[in-house]
Every structure is written in structure tokens, then in C-alpha cells.
Amino acid sequence: MTAPRIVIVEDADDIGHVGADLVADAIARSPAASITAATGESPMGLYSALAGRHRAGMFETNAVTVFQLDEYLGLTPGDRRSLLGWMRRSFLQPLGVSCDRVVPLPSDGDPREACAAFDRAVEARGSLDIAILGLGRNGHLGFNEPPSAAESPTRVVELSAVTLEDNARYWGSVADVPTRAVTMGMRHLLRARQVVLVVSGEVKRAIVHRALEGPVGPEVPASLLRTAEAEVTVIVDRAAWGEG
């Protein structure tokens, strides 16, 4: 267990470049890497910078496996607002990762058996190699809402009021956001070999300090990264970190 490395950069563009360098190196070293990658605003610059490095021939993606990080429940098939759809547009297609290299989470039906099968699929690989994560205003990682234990498996969760509010912009109103979701469990995130957490904007200032400097525990799931085996890098911009 080593303390997270905190890299403070000027702005969201720099987050993208610094993060893309780290991830490109990791994939170049392990072309058959198992990867999970968040949706949301924070990693979008990283994904486009990463796609640029891929086009420049810095690494190949034909042998990677991508495990979906989180998904809403109760969507109709093909809903553009599904997180898998977002992943396709922002990460998989720009990086040339084909659909058969993706292990999706369930988005309807009774997901319990599908969650257990997903956990078995991650465990069959030993652990994830790379987790690219964003930070919720309540300290969530993926949809591991507080409280989430370090050993929590992939499971169905109820989204918190803060998360519903933050996602309302994609759905029109808070009332339209699905209230249930599936998330990869904390246990896989904490066992990943390398975690890159990207944090951007003043709205994240309180929670990034709480996660990195406050008490460690399930009430702030991201604080558990301080107990992880992984090499954890937190890339945070000035707006999020403050002047201190």
C-alpha cells in the first residue's frame, strides 16, 4: 500500500494529456490489459488525448478487455443515454476497441446472477490492470455510493439524491433520472494494478480534499483508494485543488 500520487495540473486540458500519457504507457506495456473506464465529464479530455496517441501508433487495443464500470437499470435497449452507449462513443470507438472485447453490465431484468457472473469474469483475469475513474461530489467511484465497503461486489444500487441531481442534465430533470443502477464493486477497483482518478472543477474541491486527507472509510468510497494495493494517481486541476 502506497499513498496516492497527487498530480496538480493547470486545467482540464492538462488532465487529459497527463492522464493519456499514463494510460497509453500502461497499455503499451500490457497490450492485453483489463481496463475499466468511467463516463461523466472529467475523463473526456483524457479519452480524446488517448485516442490521439492510439492513432499515432503508441499502443494497440486489439487485445485489451474493457469491463463496464456502471450502468443505469431499467433502460430500453438502445437508449442513447445508457452508459454503455456513452462508453462506445467516447472510449471504445475512438480507440478502435471492438464490441466483443467488452464485458458489459446488465441493464435490465434480474441482474443479481449477471452481477455475480461479471465478478467471476473480472476475477478470472486476476484483477483489473487499469481503472480510469472520476469522482462523484459525494465521494462515489463508479456508482459505489456512500456507504460502500472496500469488499463490495458488483451489485444493484440506489442512486443518492446528489448523484440524481448531478445526472439530471443528461435526462432533462431529476425526476427522469433512473434511480437504480448497477456498479462494479469497490473490491475490483481497489485491486486494480493502476488507478487513474481524474478530478476537475471547483465543484469537486471539498470532496477531493475529504477523500485524500479526511478519514478513510465507506462513507467516502474514494478515500478507500488510500488503502489500495494499486498504484493510484490522482490528477486534479487547480480549480478542484485550490491554491494551497
Catalytic residue check, 209: no
What's the min distance (Å) between Cβ of 56 and ligand F6R? 26
Rounded CA gap, 172 and 91, in Å? Answer: 24
What's the min distance (Å) between Cβ of 40 and ligand F6R? 3
C-alpha closest to that of 143 among 196, 200, 105, 117: 105
Catalytic residue check, 138: yes
34 contacts 128 by C-beta, under 8 angstroms? yes
220 contacts 229 by C-beta, under 8 angstroms? no
Our finding on whether 41 is near ligand F6R (CB under 6 A) is yes
Q: Which residue is nearest to ligand F6R (CB)?
A: 134
Q: Which of 51, 73, 83, 84 binds ligand F6R (CB under 6 A)?
A: 83
What's the min distance (Å) between Cβ of 237 and ligand F6R? 12
Of 65 and 138, which has the nearer Cβ to ligand F6R? 138
Of 41 and 219, which has the nearer Cβ to ligand F6R? 41
C-alpha closest to that of 173 among 164, 182, 181, 161: 164
233 contacts 5 by C-beta, under 8 angstroms? yes
**Residue 34: exposure state from Cβ atoms within 10 A (0-12, 13-18, ≥19):** buried
Of 42 and 61, which has the nearer Cβ to ligand F6R? 42
Rounded CA gap, 102 and 122, in Å? Answer: 12
Strand-pair partners of 183:
70, 155
Segment 55-74, which members bind ligand F6R (CB under 6 A)? Answer: 69-70
What's the grid cell of residue 124? 478470472
Q: Which of 40, 111, 178, 221 binds ligand F6R (CB under 6 A)?
A: 40
Catalytic residue check, 188: no
Segment 128-157, which members bind ligand F6R (CB under 6 A)? Answer: 134-136, 140-142
Our finding on whether 188 is near ligand F6R (CB under 6 A) is no
Catalytic residue among 14, 140, 166, 237: 140
Catalytic residue check, 145: yes
What's the grid cell of residue 121? 469474469
Our finding on whether 39 is near ligand F6R (CB under 6 A) is yes
Rounded CA gap, 194 and 196, in Å? Answer: 7
Residues found near ligand F6R in the complex (CB under 6 A): 38-42, 69-70, 83, 134-136, 140-142
**Which residues are catalytically annotated?**
70, 138, 140, 145
